[in-house]
Homo-oligomer: A and B are copies of this chain.
Amino acid sequence: MPSLRVDVIDIDDPTDARVDDFRDLNSVDRRPDLPALPGGRIGKGLVIAEGVLVAQRMIASRFSPHAFLGVDKRLAELADDLADPSVQGVPFYRASAEVMAEVVGFHLNRGVLGAARRPDALAVTEVVASARTIAVLEGVNDHENIGSIFRNAAGLGVDAVLFGAGCADPLYRRCVRVSMGHALLVPFARFDDWPRGLSVLRDNCFRTISLTPGEGSMPLSDTVDAAKVAFLVGAEGPGLSETVMRASDVRARIPMSRGTDSLNVATAAAIAFYERARAGTT
């Protein structure tokens, strides 16, 4: 077994202030994974990784964990990762499942948590520079959908995710969990000026493709063969705003059966990512 770089500290008292960053994870007004608001009213601006796999990805990401809380079994499972120089001196608070449950406020069967402070956000220009395939989200305010989009992006070769107006926080705990930790690994950035900021994609020679079942759309498979492609997707129901669709180069549809609704946004995005990867391999 490699030697651990973390400092293992046993926690027996669930009220111990040293584990406050993991406290009340489900509390509406105290959960630590909300962005810190002025006056410290809610949120600590932390990112929380749950479970061995997501903790591993956090360690490998730019979200360097500053503390862990976990049961002994998970500490052992993470031994290789906790030998990484990046976690030198980071406390690993070791507790029983019961003490952990009292701290976080519910029984957490994944058995380990990592906490990181949010680093500075990346700039859109930074994220776009080296990407060939990008997903751009507008109005996607469901954490599970955003998490799934990150997972699908990572699996199907999408290089970055960009957020337009009306999207939920990709660093919310549920989102990070559903993404299998890929929300920490796939670079993302927010547009400050929406939708005008989309011009950066044109400046970087991206073809912008609005996914929409609406009129005037081409079959998806006819649209993805550009050197650089950005898929624009909107929330289920409202879809993309007309302004955004007009600002894009082309509208693409996934052929659907009659009498059915559009697909879930993460599923539609996955199909677009797949079509893009497919075009690159044939």
Contact = CB atoms under 8 A, between A and B. Distances in A.
Interface of A: 53, 148, 151-152, 154-157, 180, 182, 219, 221, 254-257, 260-264, 266-267, 270-271, 274-275, 277-278, 281-282
A257 B155 contact: yes
A261 B155 contact: yes
Given A267-B266, A270-B271, A271-B274, A260 B221 contact: no
A156 B256 CA distance: 5
Contacts of A254: 156, 274
B281 A255 contact: yes
Contact of A154 (B219, B260, B281): B260
Chain A to chain B: the 3 pairs with minimum beta-carbon distance, closest first? A155-B260, A271-B274, A154-B260
Given A156-B256, A156-B257, A256-B156, A151 B263 contact: yes
B264 A148 contact: yes
Contacts of A151: 260-261, 263-264
A270 B269 CA distance: 11
Contacts of A156: 254, 256-257, 263
A282 to B, nearest CB: 7
A46 to B, nearest CB: 25
A255 B254 CA distance: 20
A263 B219 contact: no
B257 A154 contact: yes
Contacts of A182: 260
A257 B182 CA distance: 12
Contact of A257 (B157, B256, B278): B157
A267 B196 CA distance: 32
Given A148-B267, A267-B266, A155 B256 contact: yes
Nearest to A274: B271
Nearest to A257: B157
B277 A221 contact: no
Contacts of A155: 256-257, 260-263
Given A221-B282, A270-B271, A282-B221, A277 B263 contact: no
Nearest to A53: B261
A221 B262 CA distance: 23
Contacts of A262: 155
5 contacts: A148-B264, A152-B267, A154-B260, A155-B263, A156-B263
